[in-house]
Amino acid sequence: MVENRPWLTVLSHLVLLAGCLVIVLPVWVAFVASTHEAATMLRPPAPMIPGTHLLDNYATVLFEGFGQASRVPQWLVLFNSLVMALGITIGKIAISITAAFAIVYFRFPLRMTCFWLIFVTLMLPVEVRIVPTFSVVASLGMLDSYAGLIIPLIASATATFLFRQFFLSVPDEMAEAARVDGAGPLRFFRDILLPMSRNSIAALFVIQFIYGWNQHLWPLLITTKESFYTIVMTVSRQANVQDGVVQWNLIMALGILAMLPPVLVIVFMQRQFVRGLTDTEK
Amino acid sequence: MATLQLKDVRKSYGSLEVIHGVNLEIADGELVVLVGPSGCGKSTLLRMIAGLERVSAGTVAIGGKVVNEREPKDRDIAMVFQNYALYPHMTVFDNMAYGLRNRRTPREEIEVRVRDAARILELDEYLERTPRQLSGGQRQRVAMGRAIVRKPAVFLFDEPLSNLDAKLRVHMRVEIRRLQQALRTTSVYVTHDQVEAMTLADRLVVMNKGVAEQVGSPVEVYERPATTFVASFIGSPAMNFLPVSVNGESRTLTLRGGQPLTSLDSPSPAQDIIVGIRPEDIHLQPNGQGEAVRLVVGIDLVEVLGADSVLHGRLVGSEDRIMARLPGIHRIRAGESLPLFVAPDRFHYFLQSGRRMAQQ
Ligand SMILES: Nc1ncnc2c1ncn2[C@@H]1O[C@H](COP(=O)(O)OP(=O)(O)OP(=O)(O)O)[C@@H](O)[C@H]1O
Ligand SMILES: [Mg+2]
């Protein structure tokens, strides 16, 4: 569809602009809020241009902590989120790529049963299995630990399925050529399959990192010590202060900080991300 | 350098047998071509030699040693695949070096061997590229390079040229022959292209439905096809077959229309037999000495190819389809009938079963 009508161009730009506004405006409001004093935020109307307290606010949030919900310096909370997100991402990729490798390249008893079992877990997201999972994690003594935050979220049917589809698209001759070249299964995996999966891995990294970073319910359930809080849960806890003043400026600063890592991941991995999802070339 | 022996090699998938006992002895340095129509089991046989497919029964021996239970890497073979199966993320150099590295060949030796192979195959300039940055013909050469750097006892080729365009195919065919003669490595080459088969082979194996119908030099297979299948598969256009009946005492052959064709020198074992005539053995004039057999043909269609013209028609009387290939350009119109001539010593005689008749 290559049409060249001026009003169509104008219209499509208007639609795009409106879409951008809807998404950008809240972010802008949050950013502006994070640069003012707490008092300014409580007096309507809410400011629309940045104030002068940017550095103060962020320094307070990062190195002192604030409010009732989480008094530890918030860099620790950011760090916890990072550990959890990376742990989940790397764990998911490692587990699912090996599972897919086994399912596609090895003939073992109950192979398809295994595959379908993994597949069925697609229907069981964390929220559905949260009570039994919690009791298992609790009885293993993993509450308030990184292991507890990460391990229950590692299994991934989606990623296994994606890798399986990718491996199926790799011609059989590739494995045979490697066999003739004297590469055993593990060497084939390391030297050929893994580098060929680069783009799929990158795409999954982006998706899973954001998934891990945005986990809310699970960390809320299994952490009781502030030193294990993650940033996404902290933001919502800070906003739910029982009595006293809500420090919107600091909460918004925290919100901006919570947004940054996923944005950075996307910015830096955009190329591979798109290629991993769209490319079928081997 | 090695010989290769197949003894009653069979392959079954479940209860379905697809290779029905193939026997073959390949001498050191010989290039044997497996040729046959799609699905006849050429690839399966080759893959059993390579060790990529289990041998259901019989033995495969390389250099006199039975290798049935050996992994491909321990058989001292190298294989060129139809789709090349190059490793897409590795450079041309690494593609060629990978097998050597896995064998822990010293680094300097790898360097020397890869550079040598690259020089022979004219790939020097491309060593740092990845396969994606190469043309089809170059990729094909890299696949060849990957095989020759290993200096294996046996080369195995599975339709290595079928992804190339016609012109490049002719070029690479000559290159492969030259390379094989220079290296003198025992080779098995699979193709369904009869021109490739005829030009490359020291010996041909014509396969049909999992059976080796005939093994022999290209000339032998062309001159004395063992079955009607081989006769129709090798040669282009395919051989004409005329069903005839043998008149006992006089040993005269008559066509279905009742016209006499020729007579046999010795008694025929059967009443009804098949006469095969190659299109290129049919001429406009009775040439040479000895009497020629005259066939009157009603022409349906003339294809002018430039160097030759192919006539399609039916024998007047018996209505058997017949094709003739005449050198040069002929302006014969469809609908005409004209006499054509064949020397009787160019006839091939087959039994109804398709086997060639023994003595003729
Ligand atoms: N894994 C399999 N299971 C069952 N039958 C198979 C299998 N692989 C091949 N076959 C059958 O074996 C026969 C020979 O196959 P093969 O691939 O050797 O044919 P081919 O001669 O190489 O044909 P082409 O010229 O098309 O490559 C075919 O009839 C095919 O259907
Ligand atoms: Mg084949």
Count of other CB atoms within 10 angstroms of residue A236: 13
* Closest Cβ–Cβ partner in A171, A178, A179 for B83: A171
Q: Where are the alpha helices (DSSP H) in chain B?
A: 42-50, 92-102, 107-120, 136-148, 166-183, 194-200, 218-223, 228-233
Of the candidates B64, B71, B35, the residue with the CA atom closest to the CA atom of residue B153: B64
Q: What pLDDT shows up at residue A3?
A: 65
Q: What pLDDT shows up at residue A89?
A: 94
ipTM value > 0.90: no
Q: Average pLDDT of B219-233?
A: 95
* φ, ψ at A50 (rounded to 5°): -60, 145
User: How many A from CA of B19 to the centre of ligand 1?
Assistant: 10
Q: Pocket of ligand 1, candidates B38, B44, B81: which has the most ligand atoms within 8 Å of its Cβ, to mutate?
A: B44
Asked if B255 contacts B320 with a C-beta cutoff of 8 angstroms, the reply is yes
Q: Average pLDDT of B201-219?
A: 95
User: How many A from CA of B294 to the centre of ligand 1?
Assistant: 44
- Max Cα separation, chain A? 75
Confidence grade of residue A13 (pLDDT, cut at 50, 70, 90): very high
Asked if B226 contacts B356 with a C-beta cutoff of 8 angstroms, the reply is yes
Domains of chain B and CATH, by start: 4-233 (3.40.50.300), 240-350 (2.40.50.140)
Confidence grade of residue A282 (pLDDT, cut at 50, 70, 90): very low
Q: What pLDDT shows up at residue A139?
A: 92
Q: Average pLDDT of A220-248?
A: 80
The mean predicted confidence, pLDDT, of chain B is 91
Q: What pLDDT shows up at residue A144?
A: 87
Q: Average pLDDT of B111-124?
A: 92
Q: What pLDDT shows up at residue B209?
A: 94
| pTM score over 0.80 | yes
Of the candidates B123, B119, B121, B113, the residue with the CA atom closest to the CA atom of residue B91: B123
Q: Average pLDDT of A205-209?
A: 91
Contacts of A187 in chain B (CB under 8 A): 102
Q: How far apart are CA B324 and CA B335, in angstroms?
A: 15
Q: Average pLDDT of B103-111?
A: 93
User: A156 or B340: whose pLDDT is higher?
Assistant: B340
Domains of chain A and CATH, by start: 34-278 (1.10.3720.10)
The mean predicted confidence, pLDDT, of chain A is 86
pLDDT tens for B49-102 read 999 999 999 999 999 999 999 999 999 999 999 999 999 999 999 999 999 999
Torsion of CA B165, B171, B176, B182, to 10 degrees: -170
Q: Average pLDDT of A110-129?
A: 84
Q: What pLDDT shows up at residue B353?
A: 92
Least confident of A99-103, B268-272, B336-340: B268-272
Q: How far apart are CA A86 and CA A48, in angstroms?
A: 35
- Ligand 1 pocket (Cβ < 6 Å) reads B 13, 18, 36, 38-44, 192
Closest residue in chain A to residue B51, using alpha carbons only: A180
Number of alpha carbons in the 13 Å side-chain half-sphere of residue B185: 25
Total beta-carbon pairs less than 8 A apart between chain A and chain B: 59
pLDDT tens for A34-86 read 888 877 777 777 777 787 888 888 888 888 877 766 678 888 888 999 999 99
Per DSSP, what are the bridge partners of residue B190? B34, B158
Chain A interface, best mutation among B75, B76, B87, by max A CB count within 10 A? B87
User: B332 or B156: whose pLDDT is higher?
Assistant: B156
Q: Is the pLDDT of residue B359 over 70?
A: no
Secondary-structure breakdown of chain B: helix, strand, coil percentages, each rounded to the nearest 5: 30, 35, 40
Asked if B322 contacts B313 with a C-beta cutoff of 8 angstroms, the reply is yes
Helix (H) or strand (E) holding B244: strand B240-247
Which A residues, 128 through 167, put their C-beta within 8 Å of a C-beta on chain B? none
User: How many A from CA of B38 to the centre of ligand 2?
Assistant: 7
* φ, ψ at A214 (rounded to 5°): -85, 0
- B139 to A21, B122, B237, B270: CA distances (angstroms): 50, 12, 32, 54
Share of chain A above pLDDT 70, in %: 95
Confidence grade of residue A187 (pLDDT, cut at 50, 70, 90): very high
Q: What pLDDT shows up at residue A175?
A: 93
Q: What pLDDT shows up at residue A279?
A: 63
Confidence grade of residue B17 (pLDDT, cut at 50, 70, 90): very high
Q: Is the pLDDT of residue B30 over 90?
A: yes
Q: Can you read off the two tokens belonging to residue B110?
A: 């790898």
Confidence grade of residue A158 (pLDDT, cut at 50, 70, 90): confident
Preceding omega of B72 cis (within 30 degrees of 0): no
Q: Is the pLDDT of residue B287 over 80?
A: no
Asked if A272 contacts A96 with a C-beta cutoff of 8 angstroms, the reply is no
Q: Average pLDDT of B182-186?
A: 92
- Max Cα separation, chain B? 78
Q: Pocket of ligand 1, candidates B43, B81, B189, B206: which has the most ligand atoms within 8 Å of its Cβ, to mutate?
A: B43
| DSSP class of A243 | S
Q: Which residues of B touch A (CB under 8 A)?
A: 50, 52, 71-73, 77-79, 81-83, 85-90, 98-99, 102-103, 132, 146
Q: What pLDDT shows up at residue B34?
A: 96
Provide the shortest C-alpha distance from residue B170 to chain A (in Å). Answer: 25
